[in-house]
Structure 1
């Protein structure tokens, strides 16, 4: 009984393929054949991927003591770049004004706020950034 049903299904599939093949254009037939062979080519690759991942899962994963400890928090560092200052050219070849100019003499010294363990202000002439 199973052979009869299998043979009937096979004959019906072949008859359907012949009818569809006669009505399809050559380009559509090429696309259909390409899809069928593409799917057929992907089956062995899919089986290899399944076999490879199943083998890794069966081995198990053992945690080491170093992996259980949380890592120390990273220090938070913020770098704030000031905008363009008056007197400084937007293009590098114009340069900055020299210290002897009238404009530089009228400017107050710059102040920088160092944010960290101890918040403090540095004046423009101080070089102690640590």
Structure 2
């Protein structure tokens, strides 16, 4: 039963490859062949890379540089607090403004002059 399914599957794949190959243009066929060759060329490189990285990991563990070399101390994270009122300490205290800045004026481009916030957002005030 397994042999029959295998032969049927291989036959199906070959027939589909022939049918698709006959209907494709030469440019499309060249693209497909290029993709297949590129993937096949990357397989040995990937295998060599995985092998080299595993060898390096084994070597570092044997030399004692692996995980756990620092003991059982938890990591220390230092978080600085935020400056009060959002002002930074970059300027001397006498140069920081004693009052908050004035009101901000907004202009909506493409709209007539507005007198109040009700003109900008009428749906909130109706």
Q: Which has the higher contact order (CA 8 A, sep 6+)?
A: 1
Question: TM-score, normalization: structure 2?
Answer: 0.47
Name the larger-Rg structure: 1
Higher helix proportion (structure 1 or 2): 2
Higher strand proportion (structure 1 or 2): 1
